[in-house]
A and B are shown apart, each in its own frame.
Chain A
Amino acid sequence: MALDGSLERLRREGRIVVVGASLAGLRAAETLREEGFTGTLTMIGDEPYEPYDRPPLSKQVLLGRVPADHTALPRRRAIEAQWRLGAAATGLDLSAKRVALADGTSVEYDRLLIATGVRSRPWPNELEAGLDGVFVLRTRDDATRLRHRLKAGPSRVLVIGAGFTGSEIASVCRERDLPVTVAERGPTPLSGALGSVIGDVAAQLHHQHGVDLRCGVMVTGLEGDGVGRLRRAHFSDGGTVDAEVAVVALGATRNTEWLAGSGLAAGPRGIACDAGCRAFDVRGIVADDVFVAGDVARSPHPLFGYRFLSLEHWGNAVAQAEVAAHNMICRGEERRPHLWTPYFWSAQFGVNIKSVGVPNMADQIIVSQGSLGEHRFTAAYGYQGRVIAAVTFDQAKWLEFYQRQIEQAAPFPPPFATVDRRTEGMRPVPAGFPDPSVPTHGPQVTVSGYSPTDQRVTFTPAGHGHHA
C-alpha cells in the first residue's frame, strides 16, 4: 500500500529527467504524458535543436532536396517539458539522484531515462581530422557543412568506410555527379552488417554507378597542403588518391563518457540494461530508477539467445523508448519487456534495402525470392537450422512475412515454396560474415625479439592481406 502510494505520488508530482533530446527521448516523453504522468519532465540535450530526424540527413538533405532544418520531428502530443538544450550532461550522482550539466547547473530526478545515443567515430589522427575538407556525418550541423561543400563541386570525394552511411553518402555523390572513391577494409561494402554474399551485390551497385570502390584496403593517412586543406589520401596497399573532401564513415561510438565513475555499467559498448530497460550497475544489479533506451542501450533479447543487442536503429529507439517510459511509471508486475524485432532500412543507388532480425548472427543465407543478379530479391539468413534474419532489395513487401518466421523460430532453410524462387535459391550458402576472432576494427600489432634493444613492433593494418 505504501509503495502504491509513492508510485501514485511519482505519477502525480514526481520529477522525471530524460537525458538525450533526440528520437528516443522525445517518444519516451510523449509516452510518459500519454500514460498519465503529470509531474515535472526535463529534457536535456547537447545539441541546440529540438528533436530532429537523422535518417534524411544522409539522403534527401545531402542530395540538396530538403534543407537540414526541415527535419524536426512531429510531436504525437504536447509534452509540456522543461527543455535544457545545448547543455550536455556531464555527470551522474546515483545516490543523490542528480544529473550535472555542462553549464555548471544540475537537475534532480526521481526517475532518470538515459537516451544519449551515439556519435560518429572520428578520424583517429587528430591533426589529419582537423584538415579542411575532412567531415563526419551524424548531426544536422554535420549535414549542413558537408552539403555546402558538396555543392561547391569538389574534384573528388573520398568516403572512408562502406557501411550503410558511407554507401549512402557515396550514392549521393554520384547522383550529384561528383567523382567518388570508397575505401573499405572488408571484402565488400556492408559485409559486417549483411555478409559478403549480399555485400557482393552492394559492390555491383557501387560499380554500376561509377564509384571507384576499393575493398580490402585501409586509409593509412590523410595529407594536407601548405594551408591545411585536404589534398590526398594514402592507402594500406601503397596507393593514393587525390581528393578535396573525405567523409569518415567508420561507425559510431556510444555517448557514455559522462557516466564514467557513476557506478552504472556504462562503457564504449553502451549501457547494459534488462529487457525492461532498467540500467545495470557495475555489480550487475538493475537500478530501480534509472532506465535506458535507444542507440546507447544494450539489452538482452529472448529471441536471439538472450544476447545483449546494441541496435542503432530508428525503430528500436521508438519501441524501446515506449517500453522504458511505460516501465518508469508503472507497478513492477505491469512492466513490459522490450521484444522488438530488429528492423532496418537504407536507400542507396536507387535501391531500397531493408532487413529484419539479426543478420550477423547467421551462418547461412538462401535467396528465397528473386535474383541477386537483378538486384531485386529477398534472402533469408539461417542460424543453427532456424530463420534468424532476412534482407530485401526492392522487395519490402515480403519482409513482414519473414519477421513472423523469425518470431516463430521457423526452420531454415525454409521448407515451403516461395513466389519467384530461382535456381540460385535452391540451396543455402555461407553468408560470409567476417570471422569474429579476427580483429577487423583495428590493426594487428605484434611484438618480436627478447632483449629490449631487439624488440620490434610490427603493425599490420586490419583487413590488409586477409582478402582476395
Chain B
Amino acid sequence: MRVVVDLNRCQGYAQCAFLAPDVFAMHGEEALLYDGEPDGTRRLDVLRAEAACPVKAITVEGAGAAWTAAGAGVSNGP
C-alpha cells in the first residue's frame, strides 16, 4: 500500500504516530518520518491514522473505496 503525507499541512499532532507507530514516527518535537509503502497488513492502522489526522495531511492509495467511518471501530486487521 502507498502513503504520502503533505508535510506542508502537517503540524505535528502525532495522532498517526500513536495509531500506527511502525509506519509513522515523530523525529524531534514536530518533524514526521514515515514509510511510504508499509506492509499491507498495516492497512487498517494506516487508515485509522489517515482518518484521525486533524489537518487531513495523509493520503492513502485507494482509501476512498476501502474505508468507511464505521470501519474505524473494527479491531486489528488480518
Secondary structure dominating the interface of B = loop
Q: Does A314 contact B (CB under 8 A)?
A: yes
Q: Does A347 contact B (CB under 8 A)?
A: yes
Residue of A nearest to B63 (CB): A74
Q: Does A352 contact B (CB under 8 A)?
A: yes
Residue of A nearest to B23 (CB): A66
Q: Does A394 contact B (CB under 8 A)?
A: yes
Whether B3 pairs with A347 at a CB distance below 8 angstroms is no
Whether A352 pairs with B31 at a CB distance below 8 angstroms is yes
Residue of B nearest to A76 (CB): B59
Whether B7 pairs with A345 at a CB distance below 8 angstroms is yes
Please name all residues of chain A whose beta carbon is closer than 8 Å to the beta carbon of B28 when the two chains form the complex.
Answer: 347, 349-352, 394
Q: Does A396 contact B (CB under 8 A)?
A: yes
Q: A347-B27, A396-B11 are in contact. Are A56 and B36 (CB under 8 A)?
A: yes
B10-24 with Cβ < 8 A to chain A? 10-12
Whether A53 pairs with B36 at a CB distance below 8 angstroms is yes
Whether A66 pairs with B3 at a CB distance below 8 angstroms is no
Q: A314-B8, A350-B29, A394-B29 are in contact. Are A74 and B34 (CB under 8 A)?
A: no
Whether B27 pairs with A72 at a CB distance below 8 angstroms is no
Whether A66 pairs with B31 at a CB distance below 8 angstroms is no
A56–B24 Cα gap in the complex (Å)?
13
Residue of B nearest to A319 (CB): B8
A-B pairs with CB below 8 Å: how many?
84
A121-179 with Cβ < 8 A to chain B? none
Q: Does A73 contact B (CB under 8 A)?
A: yes
Q: Does A59 contact B (CB under 8 A)?
A: yes
Q: Does A440 contact B (CB under 8 A)?
A: no
Whether A73 pairs with B6 at a CB distance below 8 angstroms is no
A394–B27 Cα gap in the complex (Å)?
11
A352–B5 Cα gap in the complex (Å)?
15
A73–B37 Cα gap in the complex (Å)?
9
Please name all residues of chain A whose beta carbon is closer than 8 Å to the beta carbon of B6 when the two chains form the complex.
Answer: 314-315, 318
Please name all residues of chain A whose beta carbon is closer than 8 Å to the beta carbon of B10 when the two chains form the complex.
Answer: 345, 396
Contact indicator per residue, chain A 349-361, by CB within 8 Å of chain B (1) or not (0): 1111010000000
A24–B59 Cα gap in the complex (Å)?
16
Whether A65 pairs with B29 at a CB distance below 8 angstroms is no
Whether B2 pairs with A74 at a CB distance below 8 angstroms is yes
Whether B31 pairs with A347 at a CB distance below 8 angstroms is yes
Please name all residues of chain B whose beta carbon is closer than 8 Å to the beta carbon of A59 when the two chains form the complex.
Answer: 27, 33
Could you say which of A53, A75, A396 contacts B61, with CB atoms under 8 Å apart? A75
A53–B60 Cα gap in the complex (Å)?
14
Nearest-Cβ distance from residue A426 to partner chain B, whole angstroms: 26
16 more A-B residue pairs beyond the given contacts A69-B37, A72-B37, A347-B28, with a C-beta to C-beta distance below 8 A: A56-B36, A59-B33, A60-B34, A65-B33, A65-B35, A66-B34, A70-B37, A73-B4, A74-B2, A74-B62, A343-B8, A345-B7, A350-B28, A350-B31, A354-B8, A394-B12
Q: Which A residues are within 8 Å of any B CB, using their own CB?
A: 53, 55-56, 59-60, 63, 65-66, 69-76, 314-315, 318, 343-345, 347, 349-352, 354, 376, 394-397
- Pairs across A and B, CB under 8 Å, 8 listed: A72-B36, A73-B2, A74-B59, A345-B7, A347-B28, A347-B33, A352-B30, A396-B11
